[in-house]
Amino acid sequence: MARYLLRRLLFLLLTLLLTSIIVFLVTQLLPGDVCRVILGREVGEGALADCRERLGLDDPAALRYLRWLGSFLQGDWGESFSTRSLIRPLVLERLENSLRLALVTMVISVPLALFLGVVAGLNAGRPLDSLISIGSLAVVGLPEFVTGLVLIELLAFRLNGWLQARFGLSPFPANSSVRPDTTFGEALPMLILPALTATLVLLAYIARLTRAGVVEELRRPYVRTAVLKGLPRRAVVWRHVLRNALLPAITVIAISFGWLISGLIVVENVFNYPGLGRLLLFAIDRRDLPLLQAVTMVTVFGFALANLLADLLYAWLNPRIRLGE
């Protein structure tokens, strides 16, 4: 186990190194002139030359990469070209916001998707199975901005008063622009609608994988043997079937968590939520290379770490797996 973990950590570091090279090369190929974006289109060539010299853009690409990588590893992520502010505090602030949204989304989506998948698997071929499958696929087929706008119309406007009067629920604001000093408790009402929108995107994938795992496990000989020995079917399902059936969904859940951290660009724009996705879009739009590089590296690290945790959880759920063999 220790050797496997060490090997996976080394693989993670190699992945990050290769990613840093690719990210740096891609940012150098982006069209447009950084200094012209910073100074404006009407600026003269002399000012542009001074800007390029000040930012080191005239140096060889290899030198600029090594200088950027060394500073990044030391915690100096540079200064944003467009906002003239330090990049590290800005990215970490947006990362915290994205982690909050990802956490709330996972708390809602994972139990719900697993429950629907298990129910569909236990009722395979029956009307309930068809209803869950068709309903989840219909929901996931809607674009995220459509789902978000529908939820805003229903929960933030039409049903808001009724939900408060009937269930005592807090209002669901349509605008999720949390401030840097907003605590998690204060931000929670503003996270519900974006989290529900992201949940509807993830629901079908996780539920269908869980269903497939349950159906496959129910057909295995050990299930029939356990039932013939007199074990209650419910005990067989909960103690054995579910433990093995959840294995295919683990990797998808881990990858989904990485996507939730930085891939919710549409959702964040619909609800005006200040997460990593909107920051990434801002960096691309402004051709802010240091900011774009920092956000991308943080995103890749999140994906790699989520996959590592998925492998460890996979082994914990199935001790028969010999990691590293």
Tens of pLDDT along 56-77? 777 788 888 888 888 888 888 8
Question: 306 and 192 share a domain?
Answer: yes
Q: Domain of residue 233: give its range.
A: 93-317
**Range 268-293 average pLDDT:** 88
Name the pTM for this structure. Answer: 0.84
What pLDDT is stored for residue 105 in this prediction?
93
Question: 313 and 170 share a domain?
Answer: yes
pLDDT at 29 over 50: yes
Q: Which is more confidently placed, 172 or 97? A: 97
* CATH number of domain containing 202: 1.10.3720.10
Say if CB 198 and CB 147 are below 8 A apart: no
Domain count for the chain:
2
In a domain, 297, yes or no: yes
Question: 176 and 34 share a domain?
Answer: no
User: For all residues of the chain together, what is the average pLDDT?
Assistant: 83
Alpha-carbon span 40 to 33, nearest angstrom:
10
Question: 61 and 114 share a domain?
Answer: no
Question: 239 and 295 share a domain?
Answer: yes
pLDDT at 194 over 80: yes
**pLDDT category of residue 325 using cuts at 50, 70 and 90:** very low
Question: 225 and 122 share a domain?
Answer: yes
> 321, 124, 319, 218: which is closest to 226 by C-alpha?
218
In a domain, 80, yes or no: no
Question: 238 and 101 share a domain?
Answer: yes
The model's pLDDT over 146-169, given as tens digits with 9 standing for 90+, comes to 888 888 888 888 877 777 776 666
Q: Which residues, at least 6 apart from 34, have a Cβ–Cβ distance to it below 8 Å?
A: 51, 55, 57, 81, 287, 289
Q: Which of 9, 43, 73 is the last residue of a domain?
A: 73
**Range 208-215 average pLDDT:** 89
Q: Which of 73, 106, 134 is the last residue of a domain?
A: 73
In a domain, 304, yes or no: yes
**pLDDT category of residue 91 using cuts at 50, 70 and 90:** very high
Q: Which is more confidently placed, 228 or 149? A: 149
> 311, 301, 314, 285: which is closest to 99 by C-alpha?
301
The model's pLDDT over 216-225, given as tens digits with 9 standing for 90+, comes to 888 888 888 8
The encoded tokens of residue 202 equal: 């993830």
What pLDDT is stored for residue 317 in this prediction?
66
Question: 26 and 158 share a domain?
Answer: no
Question: 196 and 308 share a domain?
Answer: yes
Question: 47 and 133 share a domain?
Answer: no
Question: 64 and 212 share a domain?
Answer: no
Following DSSP, what letter does each residue of 57-88 receive, concatenated? TTS-HHHHHHHHHHHHHTT---B-TTT-SBHH
Question: 119 and 196 share a domain?
Answer: yes
